[in-house]
Structure 1
Amino acid sequence: MRPETAEETLMTVLPDPRTHAGTTVVDPPVPAVDDVRWDAELRRVLARPELLTLHPQPIAELSTGQIAGFEVLSRFDASRIVAPPDVWFAAADHFGHNAELQSRVLATAVDMRDVLPPNTFLTVNIEPHLLLDDRVNGTLFEHADLSRLVVELTEHTRAGDPRALRRVLDRLRERGGLVAMDDAGTGYAGLSQLLHLTPDIVKIDRELVHGIDTDPVKRSLMEVLGDLVGRMDGWLLAEGIETPEELDTVVGLGVALGQGFALARPAVGLLPQLTDDVVQRIRTVAGRTQFDEHVLSIVRSARVGTDPATCDVLLDADARIRAVRTGGTTDDLPLRWVRPLLVAPSASLAEVARRAANRHPADLGAPLVCTDGQGRVVGIVLHSDLLLALAR
């Protein structure tokens, strides 16, 4: 039920928020969470179940591109106040409606399991302290079979009684349910809660995924967390993957599960699927990681063509490789085109490093170009990626 990571504008809806005579109606700011208008609107939503809808977003296996499950995200699209779900739940908490509201979400999510494809699960987000509320866990435990349901625990609020929470989670697991820890590493509990709860799925927060393709520290942290979670017999899930480069990186790091706009957006009234292009991209990158001792494991995608203004690898009119771009992108170095050093996908990392070290000193920072047996460009190899791969 957590909102997706994209920014959403906070506005309230006027009785008729349309454009009249060429003038757009400007809505007033959203009320503060302690504004009494929230109390009235929350009571209205609770009295009319159709005002609260759940939008599923796919969770993909990052080794195959298959859908492993769906997370349900709460939406209040038909209400008279337009605000992100986290604001709604904050207001519900202030006015004492949070347990009832989350019970409604949980009940709907449990029923949604009936429409899931085979071998998939459904996740729903619940704050730990509310899982101790009889209204919430009563909704959960009125079902003898909770298989294919994953309860995500946020780190935003302490449970209050860790032992009582552990007992509730034990009951959940006895009935076939699973436990996920949401937004790992960003809240109160951190590693202590991770070790105490031993969740089946650990979701890495969007903040740690954003820009991971250009941040070696974040990549190292992801590897460390993946090793820890693997030793706990759990799965690591990277959420908030929003760019193809972030997707390539988490797949290449061997992260088990992924979620985000780069894979698929949430939808209402149906179970969204991954496009063929996304599935193929995942399978291609995952296949490269099997050659972790070869340069193919660290190849990045590149723009290839004959226009210097839009390409990373420049071709001539006969489609032969002329030059590779260096500098002028993410650093202060001037843009240059240099003669490429070509490497085969099956070349060992050590061999490629030796060849790169023997280049002209002025070209040492230029990417290497990986080509297949027909001379076609597979991608580029950055020196930073080569050094990190050798250091593993």
Structure 2
Amino acid sequence: MIPAADAPPSGAGVSSGTNWDELLAAACRGEGLSSAYQPIVDTARGTVVGYEALARFSGFSEKNPEVWFAAARSHGMAAELEAAALRTALAARSTLPPNCFLTVNVSPELLPTASIRRIWREEGNLGGLVVELTEQTPIDSYVELEPDLNQLRAAGALIAVDDAGAGYAGLRHLLALRPSLIKIDRELVQDVDRDEAKRALISMFGSFAGRVDAWILAEGVERVEELDALVALGVPLVQGYCVGRPAPPWAGIDLDLAHRLASKRPVARKTVIRDVLETAPTASTAALAAEAFAENPALQSMVLLGEHLRPVAVLDADTAEFGLVSPGMRVNLDTPLNEALARSMTRTKASRFEPLLVTDNAGRYAGVARLERMITALTDATEADGPRRSSGGTPAD
């Protein structure tokens, strides 16, 4: 019922002596159960266009929703608990801001149950509601779900598939359900700025979405570098701690972040270094870089800066520790990609595939350009179209 990345830590978990029958009965009555709402942001406009409702068990010692829903399944109360969580989430629906949608999570196997069907009847018109089908358990046949899915669509709801790229069903899930919204699994989003394979896979999902008239949403965005990479790919919707944490209804996003997104250039074919620019941490001496590597083992590279913010070299942990500074190759922001690649190949074998140091017109450090990104930009003729929905807009439009 709730993405793992948004679930609070459960600590040592629930002891074997927990009286789950009593606790679940209370939660199913709505006691101690509440909802938080995480913003979903349109990357083109820098505005909140939707919210995901997330179950919270704040009135109990065990806070982790995953533990609760697992306990409900094992005690035969899954439908009742999901119905209670849905009812709690939908209680604030009447105050939803204009031009925003609300997404709620439902286990597919519970759609035909009386408890879940009663929720939809109580709501009546489901316009502006997105029903996410989670992949917590395998689905043997989608045929049995069709009557309920058709009724949801007829009432105005849209169908979403959660955690695309992971779970039991994978692409089969997408092909069978033909959702209006495809949520990209957070495992694909994590470090997407550093992984070309993940970028390629997200682009593939985007191409599929465009063909079936759907949107894609990247969830679990935690770093601004990941956000920038997704924007560069043309992903239209994002969600995660980087843009907004779960909160009471209806939280906005940071104004600086909104301006950052709204001021981004439209996605276009990548032809110059500026189009593949990435940030990298800097240090004024190799010794300071070595200290940074020691403090953060996950750090892969740093840029050594000289006078007047001019980049000198790309350092890794070894070169920083031993002070082995070899001047790197510098290119201007507006250097054509094919020209930069040709120059890169003139370097020695030992440094041929190091990132290029990118400078502005005054020679100051602007970022780095990795050869993988440059090659991908030149060879992927379809990347310019990006994974935006073919007809534009968002589910709120």
Same fold (TM over 0.5): yes
Q: 1: CA distance between counterparts of 2:127 and 2:348?
A: 61
2:339 corresponding residue in structure 1: 351
The Cα shift of 1:55 comes to: 0.6
Q: Tell me the SS of whatever aligns to 2:242.
A: coil
Percentage identity across paired residues of the two chains: 36
Do 1:239 and 1:260's aligned partners in 2 also have CA atoms closer than 8 Å?
yes
- For 1:2, the aligned partner's letter is I
Superposed, 1:1-392 pairs within 5 Å as 1-5=1-5, 8-11=8-11, 29-32=13-16, 37-47=19-29, 49-79=30-60, 81-159=61-139, 162-267=142-247, 269-283=248-262, 286-287=264-265, 289-290=267-268, 292-304=270-282, 306-308=284-286, 309-310=288-289, 312-317=302-307, 319-328=308-317, 336-392=324-380
Do 2:306 and 2:312's aligned partners in 1 also have CA atoms closer than 8 Å?
no
Q: 1: CA distance between counterparts of 2:5 and 2:77?
A: 25
Q: Structure 1 residues 374 and 137 mapped into 2: Cα distance closer, same or farther (>3 Å)?
A: farther
Tell me the TM-score normalized by structure 1: 0.84
Structure 1 segments unaligned to the other structure (5+ residues):
12-27
Tell me the TM-score normalized by structure 2: 0.83
Q: 1: CA distance between counterparts of 2:324 and 2:181?
A: 45
Q: Tell me the SS of whatever aligns to 1:337.
A: coil
Q: Structure 1 residues 296 and 59 mapped into 2: Cα distance closer, same or farther (>3 Å)?
A: same
> Residues 80-127 of structure 1: CA distance to partner in whole angstroms, max 9, x if unpaired?
x31410110111122222212211222233332222222111111100
Q: Tell me the SS of whatever aligns to 2:119.
A: helix
| 136-145 or 360-369, which deviates more | 360-369
Q: 2: CA distance between counterparts of 1:129 and 1:7?
A: 22
Q: Tell me the SS of whatever aligns to 2:187.
A: helix
State the superposition RMSD in angstroms. Answer: 2.8
| 360-369 or 258-267, which deviates more | 360-369
- For 1:39, the aligned partner's letter is D
| 169-178 or 274-283, which deviates more | 274-283
- For 1:372, the aligned partner's letter is D
Q: Structure 1 residues 322 and 214 mapped into 2: Cα distance closer, same or farther (>3 Å)?
A: closer
The Cα shift of 1:336 comes to: 4.3
Q: 1: CA distance between counterparts of 2:279 and 2:306?
A: 19
Q: Tell me the SS of whatever aligns to 2:325.
A: strand
Structure 2 segments unaligned to the other structure (5+ residues):
293-301, 381-397
Q: 2: CA distance between counterparts of 1:324 and 1:168?
A: 60
The Cα shift of 1:196 comes to: 1.2
Q: 2: CA distance between counterparts of 1:264 and 1:381?
A: 29
Q: 1: CA distance between counterparts of 2:266 and 2:119?
A: 45
- For 2:378, the aligned partner's letter is L
> Residues 44-82 of structure 1: CA distance to partner in whole angstroms, max 9, x if unpaired?
2233x3511101111112233221211111010111x31
Q: Tell me the SS of whatever aligns to 2:37.
A: strand
- For 1:65, the aligned partner's letter is G
Q: Structure 1 residues 320 and 90 mapped into 2: Cα distance closer, same or farther (>3 Å)?
A: closer
> Residues 5-32 of structure 1: CA distance to partner in whole angstroms, max 9, x if unpaired?
1674435xxxxxxxxxxxxxxxx75135
1:24 corresponding residue in structure 2: none
| 96-105 or 303-312, which deviates more | 303-312
Q: Structure 1 residues 120 and 338 mapped into 2: Cα distance closer, same or farther (>3 Å)?
A: farther
Do 2:139 and 2:169's aligned partners in 1 also have CA atoms closer than 8 Å?
no
The Cα shift of 1:222 comes to: 1.3
Q: 1: CA distance between counterparts of 2:321 and 2:270?
A: 31
Q: Structure 1 residues 320 and 98 mapped into 2: Cα distance closer, same or farther (>3 Å)?
A: closer
Q: Structure 1 residues 333 and 155 mapped into 2: Cα distance closer, same or farther (>3 Å)?
A: farther
Q: Tell me the SS of whatever aligns to 2:97.
A: coil
- For 1:366, the aligned partner's letter is E
- For 2:48, the aligned partner's letter is I
Q: 2: CA distance between counterparts of 1:297 and 1:30?
A: 50
Do 1:306 and 1:315's aligned partners in 2 also have CA atoms closer than 8 Å?
yes
Q: How many residues align?
A: 368
Q: 2: CA distance between counterparts of 1:333 and 1:220?
A: 35
Q: 2: CA distance between counterparts of 1:262 and 1:336?
A: 36
